[in-house]
Amino acid sequence: MATWTTIPDANLEPDKPARSIDALALRDNPVAIAEGAAGAPKIDILGLENGDIAAGDAVSWKQSGLQSTTQTSYLSAGVSDDPTASIGIRVYCEGTVRIDFTHYSTGPSESSIVRILKNDIQIIEFTNTGTTHATQTYDIAVVFGDIIGLQQKSSFYGEGAAWFGLRISGDIKFMVNSPVGV
């Protein structure tokens, strides 16, 4: 990994002789930025144009393990980072993403309710009554910067709702795979 070197402005003044150490820093600093070296400026992904990212890169984000909640109302959109009841990602692409998940109620007469949001607006809601697992698939069109969120709740407090196998995927230009609060 390259090392980031801060070059004082005084070392690069017009009509001053160049120092080899500054020339080496000028050579190595772009690599240090790209590699995310300590002290180097970070690249702001929102500053990239969509076309700057190679087309056709398959992407995928997958939830790890079973998550359950006893929440009887959805958490507020845009504020939660709780994988038991709310998860989301920001996409840096244009195209279609596929959302797959399985959900069920932990109580025999109650319901697991899951909704899909796009930019904090509900797109669709799925209800599954009882303990039988229901697998859902939904395709959603996205553009650069959209936030796709999923939230779950139970229809009755004390009984839970559970989901697993949550996956967001697509054959699109680019997607940042880190969860964001939704």
Q: How confident is the model over 17-39, as a mean pLDDT?
A: 87
Rg (CA), the chain: 23
From residue 98, alpha-carbon distances to 47, 90, 129 in Å are 26, 14, 24
Cβ-based burial of 142 (10 A; exposed 0-12, middle 13-18, buried ≥19): buried
pLDDT, tens digit, for every residue of 142-180? 887 788 888 899 987 667 899 888 888 776 554 444 444
What's this model's pTM, rounded to 2 decimal places?
0.62
The residues, ordered by sequence, that sit 6+ positions from 27 with a Cβ below 8 Å of its Cβ are: none
- Where in the chain do CATH 2.60.120.40 domains reside? 51-171
pLDDT, tens digit, for every residue of 69-92? 888 888 765 545 567 778 877 777
The residues, ordered by sequence, that sit 6+ positions from 35 with a Cβ below 8 Å of its Cβ are: 1, 2
Architecture field, domain 51-171: Sandwich (2.60)
From residue 77, alpha-carbon distances to 74, 133, 152 in Å are 8, 26, 12
